[in-house]
Every structure is written in C-alpha cells, then in structure tokens.
Chains A and B, each alone.
Chain A
Amino acid sequence: MNFTTRKAIPLVLLLLLGSVFYALFAGYTPDETLNRTASYYASQTVQETGAQNVVTAIIVTYRGLDTLGEVTVLFLTAAIVGLVLAHSKAPKSRSGSGFLPSGELLTTGTRMLVPVILLFGAYVFLNGHLTPGGGFQGGAIVASAILLMLLSDPAQRFSHRLISRIESSAGLTYVIIGLLGMLFAGGFLDNRILPLGSFGSILSAGVIPLIYALIGLKVGAEFSSILTSLEETEDAQ
C-alpha cells in the first residue's frame, strides 16, 4: 500500500459517512408534538413521582435500573484504570522531578475553596428533583474539589480505602432502596416508599433526593478514584 492510497482511504470512508449524514440532515423535520412516551412522562411525572425536573424523574425512577447499570460501569472503569496503572512504578532516579512547589495563592485558595465546592456539590445533588442538576453533576463537582486539592499538592495521598468505602456503601444502599421499593411499592426502585410530600419543596418526590444523593456520592468517589490513580506517581514518595 503506497502513501496516497493510505491517505485516500479515510477520506473515501468519511465521504460515504458524510453522504449518509447529509441524507439524514436533509430529510429531517422536527416533530410538532411529543411522541407517546415523552407525553406520558410530561403529563404523569408529577402525579407519579412528585418531581419537578422531568429528566431527573426519568433517570432515577422510570429508568432507574439503567442508572444502576451505569454507575456499575463507571465503577468497573475506575477499578480497571486502577488495575492497569497499579504496577507502573517510575524509575527511582527521577524521583521528585517535575514537581514545582505550588504557590501561596493556590494553597490558600484551595484551603478556602474546597469546603465551598463540596457544599455546592451537595446542593446540586440534593436539589436534583427541583432544578437542573443531580447526582452526576454534583458528583463531578465533588470530584473537582478533590482535583483542586491534588493540584495544590501533587504529592498528597488520598486514602483509597476511604474512597472505596464511600463508594461501596453508597452502591449497597442504592440497591437496598431499590429492593425496598419491590416490597413496599410498585417495583424495583419505585420512589413511593416515602410520602411524595408537597410538590416543589426539597423534601418531596419520595426517595428521589436520597437516591440522587447516593448517586452523587458514588459518582464523586468513582471520579476521584480515577483522577487520583491517573495522577499519582510512585516516584513522588
């Protein structure tokens, strides 16, 4: 295979794919009304789940099993990243190279901002059923607090034991709540095992705030574990 055909093959493939995309694009007309599934969610969400945010109701209640599978996939990813990077010890001779001491500004800023960021993360995942936001966004915000701590002191070590404790107990509680839904309400992960409360207040929508808080903790712990295992270098010890 010579050089020009090697360059030409990707272009031909992309041209074919692009023509398919163009056909899709040219033939697309937006719907006038919601389809049946979506209009069911739009009209029944408030009666059935008590959540203001329809996307949250779909993720936590209607498609709750998918979300459980998703956090499991994320857990597997974190575990595999840890496993792949576990035995990659850097050569000893280069110990400490590349770590400049972080400045006063970053250290002080980290000390001031990390509690605020953690609080904001908790706010985002506890209000997931009322406003935009929820467990995944809140978990990412919590992980960004960990990220700030890592940036201010790259040699810092986080307790992997603590992270995995938080992660596994959140996951276990999630499954137990799901099973309680089978016992006391309509099915697995049904949110009506707690009273629905008054529409629009923070303690409403049954167990949705609780489940989203658990998802937030779990996702935050998983992202933190991915970040720390990618950042940690053995030579910093």
Chain B
Amino acid sequence: MTLLLFMAALLAVATLGAALIALFTSSTVVAVLSAGLVSLFASVMFLLLAAPDVAMTEAAIGSGLTTFLFFFVLGRIRREGTK
C-alpha cells in the first residue's frame, strides 16, 4: 500500500512538472509534447484509481491523437510561413 502511494506521489510530481514545462517553455513543439506527457501520466493515474477504461481512452485519444492534431496544424503553419 505504501509502495502504491509512493508511486502515486511520484506520478503526481511528474505530471505537475510536465505541465509546468508545457506552460513555461519557449518552444511550442516542446509545449505540445509536454502536454501529451501530462495526458500519459494522467492515464497511469487513472489506472491506479481503478479506472482501466478511462486510462485506455486517455492514452489513445488524449496523448496520442491530440498531439498529432497539434503537429498537423503546426506543420501547415510552418509550411506557409510568414507571408
């Protein structure tokens, strides 16, 4: 039980750290990747909270597809550049 709690505390610190990186980094690409990392850590936390369904959804949608949506839009914007 204490091991579980220790893991959860580590996970919470990692989640908040990734969120802080996402907010205060100067590069947008790093921010998008850190936001995906927040989602991934949150999905492990859902697993600890006995919600495997939610964990699967968050891992597939929140951290997978959302990140790629951001990259597609960033790619379009970079290709067109500053007109």
A residues neighboring B (CB under 8 Å): 53, 55-56, 90-91, 94, 97-98, 124, 132-134, 136-137, 140-141, 143-144, 147, 223, 226-227, 230-231, 233, 235
Contact = CB atoms under 8 A, between A and B. Distances in A.
Contact of B69 (A53, A144, A230): A230
A39 to B, nearest CB: 16
A227 B66 CA distance: 10
Contacts of A94: 79-81
B56 interface: yes
26 contacts: A55-B53, A90-B76, A90-B79, A94-B80, A98-B75, A132-B53, A133-B53, A133-B56, A134-B53, A136-B61, A137-B56, A137-B60, A140-B60, A140-B65, A141-B60, A143-B65, A144-B64, A144-B65, A147-B65, A147-B68, A223-B65, A230-B72, A230-B76, A231-B75, A233-B76, A235-B79
B5 interface: no
B65 to A, nearest CB: 6
Contacts of B60: 137, 140-141, 144
B8 to A, nearest CB: 15
A137 B83 CA distance: 40
A231 B78 CA distance: 13
Given A94-B79, A233-B76, A227 B56 contact: no
A212 to B, nearest CB: 12
Contacts of A140: 57, 60-61, 64-65
B55 to A, nearest CB: 8
Nearest to B80: A90
B3 interface: no
B52 interface: yes
A124 B59 CA distance: 14
A159 B64 CA distance: 23
B4 interface: no
B42 to A, nearest CB: 16
A143 B53 CA distance: 18
Nearest to B62: A140
B82 to A, nearest CB: 12
Contact of B72 (A132, A141, A231): A231
Nearest to B56: A137
A233 B60 CA distance: 25
B78 A227 contact: no
A98 B73 CA distance: 13
B52 A132 contact: yes
A53 B79 contact: no
